[in-house]
């Protein structure tokens, strides 16, 4: 249930935000509320298309990235049931990555390109699906780090109990 909840929220927000941009900003144009005009050099909404990968890399690779998205979706759906119940970081990461992959896949299938609109500084323009994938990767890395940290702490506890004097050993 977590997989489809996280992915569903991600897809819904991504598709709604792209729809809003397409309806309210002309292609190549930009928008920022007047009250936030001071952010304009650093952040704004723009309407742009992308036929490549996240953040505008590998342009004109729509067919390749469409096929890759299907592979990613299939891999996540196959692997998710095999994830340990208590591995919430991996489950959350997979939900975010599934949502991002499907969000951009919808654009690729319906329009043969992805709508991008978030512009921050000199960073390439991106969308919520790209952000979902990136946050999913960050959560995955955090989960791996937490798991390694936990295993190191357990190993240290075992080692310290094995090297303790005979009278001080547990159990």
Catalytic (active-site) positions = 116, 130
Q: What tokens does 46 get?
A: 């723009």
Cβ-Cβ contacts under 8 Å for 100 (sequence gap 6 or more): 10, 14, 128, 129, 130, 131, 132, 133, 134, 136
* Residue 33: partners with Cβ closer than 8 Å, 6 or more residues away: none
Beta partners for residue 119, in sequence order: 44
**Is 124 strand, coil or helix?**
coil
Cα gap 21→30, rounded to integer Å: 9
Do residues 109 and 142 lie in contact, with contact meaning Cβ atoms separated by under 8 Å?
A: no
Look up residue 162 and give its two tokens.
């094995």
């Amino acid at each position: 249930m977590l997989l489809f909840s996280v992915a569903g929220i991600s897809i819904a927000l991504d598709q709604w935000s792209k729809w809003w941009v397409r309806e309210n900003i002309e292609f190549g144009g930009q928008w920022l509320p007047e009250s936030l005009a001071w952010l304009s050099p650093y952040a704004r909404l723009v309407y742009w298309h992308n036929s490549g990968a996240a953040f505008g890399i590998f342009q004109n690779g729509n067919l390749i990235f469409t096929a890759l998205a299907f592979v990613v979706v299939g891999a996540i759906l196959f692997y998710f049931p095999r994830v340990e119940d208590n591995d919430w970081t991996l489950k959350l990461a997979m939900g975010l990555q599934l949502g991002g992959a499907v969000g951009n896949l919808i654009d690729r299938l319906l329009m043969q390109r992805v709508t991008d609109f978030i512009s921050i500084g000199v960073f390439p323009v991106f969308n919520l699906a790209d952000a979902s994938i990136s946050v999913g990767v960050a959560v995955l890395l955090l989960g791996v780090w937490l798991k390694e940290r936990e295993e190191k702490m357990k190993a240290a506890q075992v080692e310290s109990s094995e090297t303790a004097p005979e009278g001080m050993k547990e159990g």
